[in-house]
């Protein structure tokens, strides 16, 4: 079945393919089988088509993604809005493969269901009046629509996704309008990734110790995905710093560990780079920093030692362990 993945604006676009391939591998999927177009231009677009077997598979694929906002079951797509409207109704006499079969839509549009329609556009802002006209035209194109509209908490959400070309798009057709519609999709929302939840829950501003190399939570999340971090895996960061990367890895059940050469950082000495925090932070190590976010069972203890002296040995004096 055809699904649409929607990316988050223009965040780290160069990592989209790498993260997607890693997410597919984590789910036991072969990326080259579920995606047919790996061109750079296609992956710079806000929406990408993938072939998956079920909604459950789609939900699992995007759950931990940092760059993917949501995934939709694609009912139909077209290069223009009038063309899309011709694909919505199902007429068995026309025998058109692209027209929506009743088995696909009726279970979500029956009288026992509630729904709402949302319009999302990339590279162009659409006014409310135009949105309402689009929604009305699409709904009128359905031969049968008995479901009840519910804007607050619907059972199903239908989406119209419009992909407009950016102003600097080099492949703009000659004579095309300034706001050129490249493609649009019509489908049902299947799942929303946990990216927003992760970003808000592990913000740098909420950590009790920051360093000059504390990494952006989105970038460390991408690295955790590309590194295939999960239960039963161990992540070692040789430049641990304040633990941003191993923290992101530990969210998904991996064990995080590492080392660092910065004596002051390891001992919580000096002025904190965190805004508004001017006092020394002695003895503020990564373990208490992690405890703010994670179950203690997911973290190792911490200790300070000279890397070349081999403190990791049987009988190590307790005074060297923090």
- Domain regions of the chain by residue span: 2-196, 202-320
DSSP code string of 22-91: HHHHHTT--HHHH-----HHHHTSSEEEEE-S-HHHHHHHHTT-SSEEEEEEEEEEESSHHHHHHHSS--
Mean residue pLDDT across the chain: 83
- Mind listing the pLDDT tens digit for each residue in 3-50? 999 999 888 999 999 999 999 999 999 999 999 999 999 999 999 999
CATH number of 2-196: 3.30.2130
CA distance 194 to 175: 41
> Between 158 and 303, whose confidence is greater?
158
pLDDT class for 94, splitting at 50, 70, 90? very low
How many CB atoms sit inside 10 A of residue 237's CB? 18
pLDDT class for 190, splitting at 50, 70, 90? very high
Q: Which residues does residue 283 pair with via DSSP β-bridges, in sequence order? A: none
Average pLDDT over residues 145-164: 94
Closest-CA residue to 244 (of 225, 267, 275, 219): 219
Using DSSP bridges, classify how beta strands 68-78 and 2-7 pair: parallel, antiparallel or unpaired: antiparallel
How many CB atoms sit inside 10 A of residue 206's CB? 11
Task: Give alpha helix (H) positions in the chain.
Answer: 16-26, 31-34, 40-43, 55-62, 81-87, 102-109, 128-141, 195-201, 217-226, 244-251, 263-266, 286-291
Q: Residues of 250-289 as b/e, b for ≥16 C-beta within 10 angstroms?
A: bbbebbbbbebebeebbbbeeebebeeeeeebeebbbeeb
CA distance 249 to 198: 12
Asked whether residue 246 carries a pLDDT value surpassing 50, the answer given is yes
> Between 172 and 136, whose confidence is greater?
136
Q: What is the dihedral of CA 11, 16, 22, 26, to 10 degrees?
A: 70
Using DSSP bridges, classify how beta strands 47-51 and 234-237 pair: parallel, antiparallel or unpaired: unpaired
- In the prediction, which pLDDT does 77 show? 92
CA distance 109 to 281: 59
- In the prediction, which pLDDT does 314 show? 66
Helix axes 244-251, 217-226, angle to 10 degrees: 60
Least confident of 72-76, 100-104, 182-186: 100-104
- In the prediction, which pLDDT does 93 show? 44
Average pLDDT over residues 201-210: 81
∠ CA 155-161-167 to the nearest 5 degrees? Answer: 155
Which residue in the block uniquely carries the two structure tokens 């920093």?
Answer: 289
Asked whether residue 283 carries a pLDDT value surpassing 80, the answer given is no
Percent of the chain with pLDDT over 90: 49
């Amino acid at each position: 079945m055809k699904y649409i993945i929607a990316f988050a604006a223009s965040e780290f676009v160069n990592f989209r393919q790498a993260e997607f391939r890693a997410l597919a591998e984590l789910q036991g999927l072969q990326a080259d089988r579920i995606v047919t177009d790996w061109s750079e231009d296609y992956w710079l677009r806000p929406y990408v088509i993938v072939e998956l077997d079920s909604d459950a598979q789609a939900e699992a694929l995007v759950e931990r993604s940092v760059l993917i906002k949501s995934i939709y079951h694609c009912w139909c797509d077209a290069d223009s809005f009038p063309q899309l409207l011709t694909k919505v109704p199902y007429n068995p006499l026309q025998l058109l493969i692209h027209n929506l079969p009743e088995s696909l839509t009726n279970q979500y549009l029956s009288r026992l269901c509630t729904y709402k329609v949302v319009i999302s556009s990339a590279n162009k802002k659409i006014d409310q009046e135009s949105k309402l006209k689009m929604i009305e035209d699409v709904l009128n194109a359905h031969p049968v629509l008995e479901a009840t509209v519910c804007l607050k908490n619907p059972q199903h959400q239908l989406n119209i996704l419009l992909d407009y070309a950016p102003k600097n798009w080099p492949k703009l057709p000659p004579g095309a309008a300034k706001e050129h519609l490249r493609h649009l999709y019509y489908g049902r929302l299947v799942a929303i990734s946990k990216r927003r939840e992760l970003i808000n829950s592990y913000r740098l501003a909420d950590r009790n110790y920051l360093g000059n190399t504390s990494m952006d939570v989105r970038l460390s999340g991408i690295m955790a995905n590309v590194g295939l971090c999960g239960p039963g895996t161990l992540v070692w960061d040789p430049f641990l710093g304040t633990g941003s990367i191993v923290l992101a890895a530990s969210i998904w059940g991996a064990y995080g560990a590492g080392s660092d050469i910065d004596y002051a950082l390891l001992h919580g000495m000096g002025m904190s780079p965190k805004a508004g925090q001017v006092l020394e932070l002695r003895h503020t190590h990564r373990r208490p920093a992690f405890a703010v976010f994670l179950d203690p069972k997911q973290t190792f203890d911490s200790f300070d030692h000279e890397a070349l002296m081999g403190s990791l040995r049987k009988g190590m004096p307790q005074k060297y362990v923090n």
